[in-house]
Structure 1
Amino acid sequence: MRAWRAMVLAATGMVLTASCGYGAAIHSAEIPQEELAGTWTSPAGTSLTFAEDHTFSGTGFDNVEAMAGCAHPETLSTGRWAFYVSPEGGGLLVPDETATRGHDLRLSFPDDPACKVWVYLYGYLGDTSDPDMCPTKDPDAGCPPDGYLKRDEAASHA
């Protein structure tokens, strides 16, 4: 009986570690910039359209929890994006507009220079065929159910 209990506790600890501490890493999806380009939408009404020249436009930013600290998210509509990279393999991630692929990116807004948003790219077990993106302050905390953005194939290819 003690062996069972120990195995159950160990399995529970592994599941909690994976879902809380490492869940974002397990589901992280590396997207090349040509696949990022296009329109992404959320059920909450947020829409982002990314261009390969590292600009974006969007609507519904007042629906994004990660932008709650921005002065007036409802007035923001354009900005620049950059993938986060680790220069020289170090642990520190920095936004770099020369990077051509990444697991996460930063949105910045010229109308509110203090407003910077981290966007995490998800795929089921890292699968990039049908990715989601999540504007977030902490990828391990996840997104609210209507906060995930999916690529809008019809709008992206119009």
Structure 2
Amino acid sequence: MSRKFAMLLPFLALLVSAAGCSSHGYPQDIRQSDLLGVWAGPHGSRIDFLADHRVKATGFDFEGSPANGCSAADSGGKWAFYEAVDPSSGDYDMSMSATHGDSLSVIFGKLSESGSCYFSLDAMRKDENVRLCVTADPDSPCDGGVEFARKSDLAG
């Protein structure tokens, strides 16, 4: 091994480790029981995940986010973890039977109706806490600019 290469090894290791982490933290697989309850976001927004896959939300007005203008959120919706449909191709879809995951989808209203919306949330571990962040592109976790922090186990 050349001396120049040996001197570069620590720098290369730092680059490789940094590539796996964003400012939002690391992807975190969570169980359904860890998801259920109240999560709080910016500007007084709140999202409640219920065991029967219903979701309630208030205060969804996030400029520039996939969740912006989600007027159907106040009437409630559905949530589900993503599950691999075809692992060889990397295709994922919502699964009401999945009991864990690091990404989930939320749908408010019927997608064919005005005011309805659909977005993904990624579970990310930062320090000792798990956050849910809005994601528009599955290849760019947390690109929606909105994060939710867990507030309680009981939704209501």
TM over 0.5: yes
Look up the equivalent residue of 2:67 and give its one-letter code.
M
Q: Is the 8 A contact 2:133 2:142 kept in 1?
A: yes
The structure whose residues are more often helix, as a share, is 1
Q: Is the 8 A contact 1:108 1:115 kept in 2?
A: yes
Look up the equivalent residue of 1:84 and give its one-letter code.
Y
Q: In the superposition, relative to structure 1, how do residues 144 and 4 fare at CA in structure 2: closer, same or farther (>3 Å)?
A: farther
> For 2:80 and 2:134, how far apart are their aligned partners in 1?
14
Q: In the superposition, relative to structure 1, how do residues 33 and 16 fare at CA in structure 2: closer, same or farther (>3 Å)?
A: closer
TM-score normalised over the length of structure 1: 0.73
> For 1:119 and 1:34, how far apart are their aligned partners in 2?
16
Runs of 4+ with >4 A deviation: 111-114
Q: In the superposition, relative to structure 1, how do residues 45 and 53 fare at CA in structure 2: closer, same or farther (>3 Å)?
A: same
Instruction: Tell me which residue corresponds to 1:6.
Output: 8
Instruction: Tell me which residue corresponds to 1:63.
Output: 62
Q: Percent same amino acid at aligned positions?
A: 22
| 2:132 is the alignment partner of 1:133 | yes
Instruction: Tell me which residue corresponds to 2:38.
Output: 39
**Which one is further off, 88-97 or 5-14?**
5-14
| 2:76 is the alignment partner of 1:76 | no
Q: 1:75 offset after TM fit, Å?
A: 5.0
Q: 1:99 offset after TM fit, Å?
A: 1.1
Stretches of structure 1 that go unaligned for 5 or more consecutive residues are none
> For 1:81 and 1:3, how far apart are their aligned partners in 2?
49
| 2:117 is the alignment partner of 1:115 | yes
Cα distance per residue 1:49-97 (max 9 Å; x no partner): 01110011101211272324xxx32453211001000136442111011
The structure whose residues are more often strand, as a share, is 2
Stretches of structure 2 that go unaligned for 5 or more consecutive residues are none
Look up the equivalent residue of 1:121 and give its one-letter code.
A
> For 2:155 and 2:45, how far apart are their aligned partners in 1?
19
Q: 1:111 offset after TM fit, Å?
A: 4.9
Q: 1:156 offset after TM fit, Å?
A: 2.5
Structure 1 vs Structure 2 CA RMSD: 3.2
